[in-house]
Amino acid sequence: MFKPLFLGPLLILLGLSAQGQTPIKIGEINSYKAQPAFLEPYKKGWELAVEQINAAGGVLGRPLQVVSRDDNGNPGDAVRAAEELVAREGVALLTGTYLSNVGLAVADFAKQRKVLFLAAEPLTDKITWHNGNRYTFRLRPNTYMQSAMLVPEAAKLKKKRWALVYPNYEYGQSAAATFKAMLKKLQPEVEFVAEQAAPLGRIDAGPVAQALVDAKPDAIFNVLFGTDLAKFVREGHTRELFKGRAVVSLLTGEPEYLEPLKDEAPVGWLVTGYPYYGIQTEAHKAFFLAYFRKYNDYPRLGSVVGYAAVQSIAAALRKAQSTDTERLVQAFEGLPVVTPFGAIRYRAIDHQSTMGAFVGVTRLEGSKGVMADYRYLDGAQFLPTDEEVRKLRPAD
Amino acid sequence: MLLHLLTALASASSLFLVACGLSLIFGVTRTVNFAHGSLYMLGLYAAVALSGWWGASPVGYWGAVLAAALVVGVLGAAIERLVLARLYAAPDLYPLLATFALVLVFKDVALALWGAQDLLGPQAPGLQGAVWLAGQPFPRYDLLLIAIGPLVLGLLWLLLHRTHWGLQVRAATQDRDMLGALGVNPRGLFTSVFALGSFLAALGGALQMPHEPANLNLDMAVIGEAFVVVVVGGMGSITGAFVASLLIAGIKALCIAAGTLELWGMAFPLSRLTLVAEFIVMAVVLVWRPSGLLGRAQATVRSPVTEPPLRALPPGARWALVLLALGLLLAPLAHSHYPYLLVLLIDVLIAMLFAASLQWLMGPAGLHSFGHAAYFGLGAYGAALGLKGLALPMPLALLLAPLVAALAAWCFAALCARVSGVYLAMLTLAFAQILWSIAYQWDSVSGGSNGLVGIWPAPWLASRPAYYGLTLACTAGAALLLWRLHHAPLGLALRAARDAPLRAQAIGMNLARLQRRAWVQSAALAGLAGALFAFAKGTIAPDTLGVGQSVDGLVAVLLGGLHSVLGPWVGAGLFTVLQDSLARQTDYWRAVLGGVMLLLVLVFPLGIVGSLRQRFGKEPA
């Protein structure tokens, strides 16, 4: 009975904003409730991109509309959401996901149903390599690339005895394995004296820090993040684990993980991350200002990822001049996109984007951890050779 | 070594502080309080927020810790009065459903109040930094923690053994019906115990302020550990909880300190064992001592609710079922107009089948399972590995799944025939968690934390209508089988074994064998549900073995009605559809789902079907 009452104003609104055109729907799936700390900024990022693109007249003369679903943090619900988006909402393509297992599930769904899927956040190497498929592309630099960016810097430290600490699941294990293998290649005399795998989100920080102290390493490679990182850093400081030792740490420079540590942020760690406060490129400045104006908050790394994902989709739609899946796949292969981090390209060989990351050293500024002496490393430089990629990735 | 020992003692103290409140509540009210972890989380959040206002002086800091615990204690009393007190007349497990709804609500409340980002609280003033012991730094605050554990234990002991209130609590722990018969009104006692338990949970949280940031995942992270400690120690035994904390923290510390173990030429980092160390300890302890380390065998609670006898369906309900069946059969006709209908119906049917398999175990057999996901997951992995690893054709892989699950259930039932009640429920949870951790770690076989992908049905079943047909056929077959089993001599015998074990034995029934049959049948059906799930999604991950899956089944059974044949079908259908539609409507869907569930529990304290039957006398099942 009341449906027309609601629909009326809605139609008028749509008509005003979109020149009467039906929007191009993008299906977005993410673990908003399970991982809110990282996905709230991400959501703000894509909302900003959609707003900007539609204000500039949309794509192919039609506005973009993101239809977002919560996957409850598990692959089963994510696949149901994907089916719903494709079947009921009629979306042109899928994007999103944060957890690696959810990302892999949606990627396999994309392959089965022949729908394009742009994996935005998940890091597992398998999405584009071992389980790669024709319909799946990935934006963020994967675990391998992130580790590879740190290894040359780690080798320069010339430390012999290394200890590793990582969350006990695929991301942590594969980051540690990549780091060990690559460092050994650059620095054959290196020794790995301790290895701690902590349950994700439930680290026993005291015993872990103590075990690392006892191993007397010269340097530490850390893959912990989030709550685990905060607990580990506090225990490590108190037990003087970091005193006189070099620490190389994955993702720690991302504001999502560094800021909650406040004035206890570690100093002198070599990290990958996102120094939003100092990137002076035009693309980033424009993004930063627009973001700040809209939300009165600074962007996190997730914001950049969400923003760049929608930018990439818009670019692919423009290049394909169509919402047809096969044409979108062709458009995505080799697609150049200008993101807040600079120009990136979706590689045709493995569908991995060449988005990179900033590498720098952590420092305290006032009561806040920041990155210093950072530089942007282009992801294209830290990928295995085409030969190796072909070996890893099944043929389509 | 000294430092490792002290660190382990500090961990044990922290563990004990969380667990002692739960043990108290568990022992007296028999409430499986799922919200205990939420209370801990709220305690930590409140302490961080209050200390932010009151400053970092010692008075401000410790004032914040105490105030946070007190506020949550009052909240606990309110929960008991407003929610749980209305449910004591319902079967044992119903309060669990209510507390699970509260978990959902509290999580969204914390998100709304404090935001998504982790909040790192201040360190205790005067206790920052380290003291030097044996030439190495050791955190000063940990020394305080080491002292607080035994202190709280001592205070609780005095309270329980030297006061009149404590006498009543101990009496209620042993036999609460007898206490009532002796003229003690349990209402006030229950409220005060719940308030004290909540106070202790929040105190445990607030005392962790220097150790961990307040975050939204604490509730589930803590509740598992706390339950394990309580059960290992023996329900209701505070001293037992303390010993169990020492044992578990000690073993974990040992795993971490030992570093990497070389076994048969393979390096295995022992620290990985910390993923399930506590559940392995629990399984070993319970198989060895079925009532925990210091627990006593429970006096049977003379439950006020007994299952009404089975009767034939009234004609109205029969017609409704026929119509429903017709509707399900005709659903594929609507596929071209509402393509999502079949997608959702497949998930609903799988959830129903899983819940019904659990109800067969929990209802007639009275065997409570908190880890039924073990069989669902084994079915899913069995089917996936059959298809991928053994290269079986898909229909054979589908048939293999129930066999794998049934075999595992047979072994499990044989191993823990001596364990019963809540201890059995926790043992099932331990079993599921151990399987989960194996699937999570065994990269080469189970795909590790990422799981297995590419498990799609055979081409002739790949279209949604075809797969829906398969799911409907399997589920309908299982429904008819279960209906038959409920009314068959086996169903009646199981009820007899549940309600009057001694008499059942006296007339020559072999209870262990009866119950083993129920386990195997239930697991086979759960395994079938798991296999159907795997082929519907194309992907499985360790979540199929996880706590969330078990809880979904439990919620569906309780929501529909523990003691009704139709209950799990109604409960699972409602729960799945609610979750699916609410998640799309609102950002705070979890709180709304929790609120709706709370309302349903209060309106239908015997489950929807159970309460309707009681109300209208004419039983729809």
The answer to whether residue A194 neighbours chain B at the CB level (below 8 Å) is: yes
Q: How much is the pLDDT for A251?
A: 92
Among partner residues B212, B347, B548, which is closest to A227 by beta-carbon distance?
Answer: B212
Q: How much is the pLDDT for B130?
A: 86
Check the CA dihedral A324-A327-A329-A332 and report its sign.
Answer: negative
The residue-averaged pLDDT of B577-604 equals 86
The answer to whether residue A239 neighbours chain B at the CB level (below 8 Å) is: yes
Model confidence band, residue B305 (pLDDT cutoffs 50, 70, 90):
low
**Which chain B residues touch A210 with a CB distance below 8 Å?**
3-4, 7, 257
Considering chain B, what is the average pLDDT of its residues?
88
Is residue A244 domain-shared with residue A375, that is, in the same domain? yes
Put simply, the answer to whether A227 touches B256 (Cβ < 8 Å) is no
B39 neighbors B202 (Cβ within 8 angstroms): yes
Distance, in Å, from the CA atom of B346 to the CA atom of A119, rounded to the nearest integer, reads 26
Q: How much is the pLDDT for B178?
A: 83
Give the 3-state DSSP-derived string for A248-273, with helices as H, strands as E and coil as C.
EEEEEECHHHHHHHHHHCCCCCEEEE
Put simply, the answer to whether B130 touches A126 (Cβ < 8 Å) is no
The residue-averaged pLDDT of A340-354 equals 94
Distance, in Å, from the CA atom of A14 to the CA atom of A7, rounded to the nearest integer, reads 10
| ipTM for this model | 0.88
Put simply, the answer to whether A104 touches B584 (Cβ < 8 Å) is no
> Does A394 reside within a domain?
no
**Which chain B residues touch A126 with a CB distance below 8 Å?**
450
Per-residue pLDDT tens over the stretch A223-254: 999 899 999 999 999 999 999 999 999 999 99
The residue-averaged pLDDT of A258-271 equals 92
Among partner residues B111, B130, B256, which is closest to A239 by beta-carbon distance?
Answer: B130
Per-residue pLDDT tens over the stretch B130-178: 888 888 889 999 999 999 999 999 999 999 999 999 999 888 887 777 8
Q: Which domains does chain B have, with CATH numbers?
A: 2-124+132-224+236-250 (no CATH), 342-439+451-616 (1.10.3470)
Distance, in Å, from the CA atom of A65 to the CA atom of B25, rounded to the nearest integer, reads 50
Q: How much is the pLDDT for A11?
A: 42
Interface test with B, best of A202, A229, A298 (most B CBs within 10 A): A202
Is residue A265 domain-shared with residue A320, that is, in the same domain? no
Scanning B361-420 for CB atoms below 8 A from A yields none
Per-residue pLDDT tens over the stretch A28-58: 999 988 888 889 999 999 999 999 999 999 9
The answer to whether residue B250 neighbours chain A at the CB level (below 8 Å) is: no
Q: How much is the pLDDT for A2?
A: 39
Q: How much is the pLDDT for B420?
A: 80
> Does A56 reside within a domain?
yes
> Does A10 reside within a domain?
no
Put simply, the answer to whether A105 touches B212 (Cβ < 8 Å) is no
Among partner residues B339, B454, B538, which is closest to A88 by beta-carbon distance?
Answer: B339
Find the residue in B nearest to A73 (Cα): B543
Is residue A149 domain-shared with residue A251, that is, in the same domain? yes
CA B510 from chain center: how many Å? Answer: 30
Is residue A128 domain-shared with residue A187, that is, in the same domain? no
Model confidence band, residue A302 (pLDDT cutoffs 50, 70, 90):
very high
The residue-averaged pLDDT of B390-405 equals 90
The residue-averaged pLDDT of B98-107 equals 92
Model confidence band, residue B263 (pLDDT cutoffs 50, 70, 90):
low
The answer to whether residue B124 neighbours chain A at the CB level (below 8 Å) is: no
- Residues contacting residue B494 through CB under 8 Å, at least 6 positions apart: B364, B365, B366, B514, B515, B518
Q: How much is the pLDDT for B62?
A: 93
Is residue A222 domain-shared with residue A297, that is, in the same domain? no
Distance, in Å, from the CA atom of A37 to the CA atom of A275, rounded to the nearest integer, reads 18
Per-residue pLDDT tens over the stretch A102-121: 999 999 999 999 999 999 99
Answer whether residue A4 shows pLDDT above 80: no
Put simply, the answer to whether B120 touches A204 (Cβ < 8 Å) is no
Q: Which of A243-252, B90-99, B314-323, B439-448 has the highest mean pLDDT?
A: A243-252
> Does A3 reside within a domain?
no
Is residue A214 domain-shared with residue A263, that is, in the same domain? yes
- The SS3 assignment for B608 reads helix
Q: How much is the pLDDT for B621?
A: 44
Answer whether residue A5 shows pLDDT above 50: no
A331 neighbors A342 (Cβ within 8 angstroms): no
Is residue A302 domain-shared with residue A233, that is, in the same domain? no
Q: Which residue has the higher pLDDT, B505 or A5?
A: B505
**Which chain A residues touch B593 with a CB distance below 8 Å?**
none
Among partner residues A84, A201, A261, which is closest to B120 by beta-carbon distance?
Answer: A261
Put simply, the answer to whether A75 touches B540 (Cβ < 8 Å) is yes
Least confident interval from A48-52, B361-365, B379-383: B361-365
Q: How far is A323 from chain B (nearest CA, A)?
A: 20
Q: How far is A231 from chain B (nearest CA, A)?
A: 5
Least confident interval from A37-46, A61-70, A242-251, B289-298: B289-298
Answer whether residue B44 shows pLDDT above 50: yes
Answer whether residue B117 shows pLDDT above 70: yes
> Does A393 reside within a domain?
no
Per-residue pLDDT tens over the stretch B522-579: 999 999 999 999 999 988 999 899 888 998 999 999 889 888 888 899 999 999 998 8
A336 neighbors A240 (Cβ within 8 angstroms): no
Look at strands A117-119 and A93-96 and give their pairing: parallel
Put simply, the answer to whether B450 touches A104 (Cβ < 8 Å) is yes
Is residue A116 domain-shared with residue A134, that is, in the same domain? yes
**Which chain B residues touch A40 with a CB distance below 8 Å?**
116
Among partner residues B139, B548, B584, which is closest to A238 by beta-carbon distance?
Answer: B139
Find the residue in B nearest to A90 (Cα): B339
Answer whether residue B474 shows pLDDT above 90: yes
Considering chain B, what percentage of its residues have pLDDT values greater than 90? 42
Find the residue in B nearest to A81 (Cα): B580
φ, ψ of residue B419 to 5 degrees: the values are: -90, 145
The answer to whether residue B578 neighbours chain A at the CB level (below 8 Å) is: no
Q: How much is the pLDDT for B183?
A: 86
Report the CATH number that the domain containing residue A230 is assigned in CATH: 3.40.50.2300
Number of compact structural domains in chain A: 2
Q: How much is the pLDDT for B377?
A: 95
Residue B435: count of CB within 10 angstroms of its CB:
23
Which domain range does residue A27 map to?
16-142+280-355
Say which residue the tokens 């007994």 belong to.
B306
The residue-averaged pLDDT of B449-478 equals 91
The residue-averaged pLDDT of B66-73 equals 96
Q: How much is the pLDDT for B300?
A: 58
> Does A379 reside within a domain?
yes
Q: How much is the pLDDT for B516?
A: 92
Answer whether residue A202 shows pLDDT above 80: yes
Task: Please give the helix or strand (H or E) that residue A69 lies within, else none.
Answer: strand A64-70
Per-residue pLDDT tens over the stretch A316-329: 999 999 999 999 99
> Does A2 reside within a domain?
no
φ, ψ of residue B130 to 5 degrees: the values are: -130, 155
Is residue A260 domain-shared with residue A200, that is, in the same domain? yes
Answer whether residue B96 shows pLDDT above 80: yes
Put simply, the answer to whether A40 touches B590 (Cβ < 8 Å) is no
Is residue A202 domain-shared with residue A176, that is, in the same domain? yes
Find the residue in A nearest to B344 (Cα): A80
Is residue A268 domain-shared with residue A290, that is, in the same domain? no
Q: How much is the pLDDT for B612?
A: 82
Answer whether residue B498 shows pLDDT above 50: yes
> Does A101 reside within a domain?
yes
**Which chain B residues touch A262 with a CB distance below 8 Å?**
120
The residue-averaged pLDDT of B112-128 equals 88
Least confident interval from B187-191, B255-259, B304-308, B436-440: B304-308
Bridge partner residues of B137 (DSSP): B132
Put simply, the answer to whether B448 touches A169 (Cβ < 8 Å) is yes
Q: How many Cβ pairs within 8 Å bridge chains A and B?
A: 199
Put simply, the answer to whether A208 touches B271 (Cβ < 8 Å) is yes
Q: How much is the pLDDT for B306?
A: 66
Q: How far is B459 from chain A (nearest CA, A)?
A: 11
Put simply, the answer to whether B119 touches A260 (Cβ < 8 Å) is yes
Is residue A26 domain-shared with residue A166, that is, in the same domain? no
Distance from first CA to last CA of chain B, Å, rounded? Answer: 63
Model confidence band, residue A361 (pLDDT cutoffs 50, 70, 90):
very high
Q: How much is the pLDDT for A169?
A: 87
